[in-house]
Structure 1
Amino acid sequence: MARALGMIETRGLVGSIVAADEMLKSADVRLIKQEKIDAALVTVLVQGDVSAVQAAVEAGKIAAARVGELVSAHVIPHPDEDVNEVLLKDEKKVKIEKKKAEAVNPTETVKETKAATKKKQETEKAKSDDKSEE
């Protein structure tokens, strides 16, 4: 199956959500990422068969223009593997770091949470004691 990458950029969040919804409903594509960029620009990335991505982007362009401001749209048929690595590196890095942290000591986060809860309870108790003394 030939893979393609489709991108739609809108000014504003609502247009990007409507575009993503329409793209996913109109063709067999997978939502890869929605990235918020400076100055209210939002980019939605989808991936799938070349023809499906082309159809999805066309439908998404129409939907985005109907409810918001369409800035740009583009389809890259057969993108190089490095493109995916660059686009998705942040999500992969976060997932890997989270798995590593859990693998090292999964009970550590539980201990930290319990300690924070206990400290919060002690603080609240001290505040209520202070109020009762007044």
Structure 2
Amino acid sequence: MPVAVGVIQTIGFPAILAAADAMVKAGRVTLVSYDIAESGHFFIAIRGSISEVKPAMEAGIRAAEEVFGGEVVTHYTVPNPPENLESVLPISYTEEVEMFRL
């Protein structure tokens, strides 16, 4: 099954929370990473099949933009990420998220 990684960066925590909620409800994806990107910016990363990540990303972007004051700074989807990308960036399945893996 071809897998993909989707990442969204927002300004403000409520926007990233709304994005995360919408993404896991819109597709069979696993939330693999969340962190503070920089001053007031947050990012979230999801993984799943390419066909599931695309609608999940669309739902997450819409949800983040609907939050009062929410702003999507950037977003990107990587279909079939190479192994070296996974070893360097925080996008791999960890023990904490393994039980939620779909």
Query: TM over 0.5: same fold?
Result: yes
Q: 1:33 deviation in Å? A: 0.4
The alignment status of 1:83 with 2:81, answered yes or no, reads no
The alignment status of 1:33 with 2:38, answered yes or no, reads no
Tell me, in whole angstroms, the C-alpha distance in 1 between the residues paired with 2:51 and 2:74.
19
Query: Which protein shows a greater Rg?
Result: 1
More helix by share: 1
1:1-134 aligned at under 5 Å gives the runs 1-67=1-67, 68-88=70-90
Structure number with higher relative contact order (C-alpha < 8 Å, ≥ 6 residues apart): 2
Number of residues of Structure 1 aligned to a counterpart in Structure 2:
92
Secondary structure at 2:63's aligned position in 1?
Answer: helix
Secondary structure at 2:89's aligned position in 1?
Answer: helix
Give per-residue Cα distances to partners, 1:100-129, cap 9 Å, x unaligned: xxxxxxxxxxxxxxxxxxxxxxxxxxxxxx
Structure 1 counterpart of 2:27, which letter? A
Q: 1:88 deviation in Å? A: 2.9
Q: Structure 2, unaligned stretches of length 5 or more? A: 97-102
Secondary structure at 1:88's aligned position in 2?
Answer: coil
Q: 1:78 deviation in Å? A: 0.3
Percent identity (aligned): 34
More strand by share: 2
Question: Over aligned residues, Cα RMSD in angstroms?
Answer: 1.9
Secondary structure at 2:90's aligned position in 1?
Answer: helix
Q: 1:9 deviation in Å? A: 0.6
